[in-house]
Structure 1
Amino acid sequence: MKQELKENQGLPASLLWTLAIIAGISVANLYYNQPLLNRISRDLQTSEFTANLIAMITQIGYAIGLLFIIPLGDLFKRKTIILINFTVLVVSLLTIALTPYIHLILFASLLTGICSVMPQIFIPIAAQFSTPKTKGRNVGMIVSGLLTGILASRVVSGIVGEYLGWRFIFFVAAGMMVICLIIIMRVLPDMPCNFKGKYSDLMKSLFSLVIEYPQLRISSLRAGIAFGSFLALWTSLAFKMGQAPFFAGNNIVGLLGLCGIAGALTASYIGKYVHVLGVKRLNYIGCGLIFVAWFSLYFGQDSYVGVITGIFIIDIGMQCIQLSNQTTIFALNPKAANRINTIFMTTYFIGGSVGTFLAGTFWHWFGWQGVVGTGIALTACSFMINIFAKR
């Protein structure tokens, strides 16, 4: 396990599985708060809008981490970067679990978002060191682990929050970060750096990559805007389900996350067909599915069937868009895999934070109709970018 990996020579299956599992565990930190926002709002005696800021700031933190931390994976040892991030996560998660002050929770949520970027270091590792034949499948496997973590985080936090209080899940999360830190120290091998120079030169090279590759700009924008539509649902769902006719607790909201298993199970399958169907076609399919999901969430908003159908379909649609765009951009410049992924995922989570903010704002003004309108408008923007994008 300690041997140095070589580009395009393949990844050991045991290491791939380990990275996929840890990717899921670490990305879960971003989503524990979503089913609990209504409970946090009541406990801290803040408005729903203020509670929604916790989710938004976590997403902004993730975008900041992607922009300033992930590029370091091309300059310094990736293992060191990962270990530092896990250490900070332990502190930030314990802060959320212990503090009674909303402003401190918001700051700790920002740190949690910044340091939960490890999966976006793992994905370029899979892309860079897998054989050309297995690249799409292995990236899909890491993404499947990531999606399973998102899925499990909502389910577990909803159930734990209902019966043990919302703070308990953050104690558990901090403990899991300690375990991940120990495992990474033991199993992650050495990997060669891809960039020689200073950090300032590395950051300047990000802008060079954006200018040099139009496909990178297009892929990042259409995926990021679609992700904003996706998160518009998840950051508003707890408020919706807490009202008539459902009056559902956090455990029910969390269990609805199980519907997202469709996205986790289809990620690896979609990854195999990116080069068969093409990026543009998969984006049309993804946007079409998200439109269908929002119509189900609007017309079936007062029934579990309508809500569950919408969640099920929106997850599959989102994976069509994310995987098709993310898998293909690595071929633009394999030596700049971390920086290319930085540009893509920073845009992706900026789009997610915009969707979260808009959904919270329009929920405050117009209720569920405002959320649905936000989701449809963002999906339409992604669809239009795909129409006008050149091959």
Structure 2
Amino acid sequence: MSKKAPSFMFSRYAAIVKKELIQIKKDPASLAIALILPVMLLFLLGYAVSSEVENIEMAVWDQNQTAESRELIQGFVNGQFFKHSIDALSYNEIEKLFDEGKVSLALVIPKSYSKDIVRDKASVQVIIDGSDPTIAKTALSNSKLIIQNKSIEIQMDAINQKGLGGMNQPLVEESRVLYNPNMEVMKFNIPALIGLIMQEVTLILTAFSLVREKERGTIEQLMVTPIKPSELILGKLTPYVGIGLFSFLFVLITGILWFGVPVEGSIPLLLLLSMLFLVTTLAMGILVSTLAKNQLQAMQMAFAIILPSVILSGFVFPRDPMPLVIQMLGGLIPLTYFLEMLRGIFLKGVGIEELWNQTIILSIFTILLCIATILSFKKRLE
């Protein structure tokens, strides 16, 4: 009767471990991603993820130009919540600043401000960009608090000087929230979700295209043909543009009809800019596909792009409070500019004039990614 082999032998186990270590050694790219990516994400998320909103960009239209009006402005900038960025000269200029996303709050001080304080009936106007509810709520609550404190200070000065104070509040705030008066989070999130979903779908679709050819061995058939790298890359890119556009239309219609988020701006412009972004993300996915040796590497690279995009693009957290270095890193992500386009067209109804800078930057990204993809593809077996 034969002797039964032991169910577990350490020698066999050690041999498998040794074999796997050799396989890992042969794939340093995956090992580097596994070791470096967590640390990189920790630094990015540690600095970028914050629920606090500070240094809100503020425009000031000071029609009074007195020591009293300057004291009020100083009261806004003394704290950490507001930053006096631009001086405006009209409501039209303020509206343009909001449309271009340069400021989130405007303080309007009337000509009679200093005289009205003496008569206990001064008022100032605070106009807030409500497209981002997080920033808008912070701006609204803190502006009210600052003006209330200033009003109490004026009353105390009157008591000290005259021995009595008026019964009325000497300074009041007239608040006005633009674009999203009710500060609904849904109206802010749905356009961004459309952009994020489109990036993930198109990036993952194309990230596996050439890798799949490599693993199946069909890439060898392409190598012996007279096809040029540019023809192969663009040929693989084109079908996914149609798929991505159809997917975008489906998601867009769902967002409008099901979630009730209207498009205030031009839908043809939205479709045109969305097509540009689709080409950008598809080119990014093809680039990943040319660099990755297998589908695991392609997935890891795609994940390394998607997660920072969620955090640094302004999808979840406002970009203004982030450190300058983190903001610069976010500026290297195409989704950052597409979210500005989507929210601008959805919420503010802006046109190409206000989105021209984002359009140029996104076009440059597209060209550079296409060139990098073509150059990275070598018409030979690695």
- TM-score normalized by structure 2? 0.35
**Structure number with higher relative contact order (C-alpha < 8 Å, ≥ 6 residues apart):** 1
Higher helix share: 1
Structure (1 or 2) with the larger CA radius of gyration: 2
More strand by share: 2
Q: TM-score, normalised by structure 1?
A: 0.34
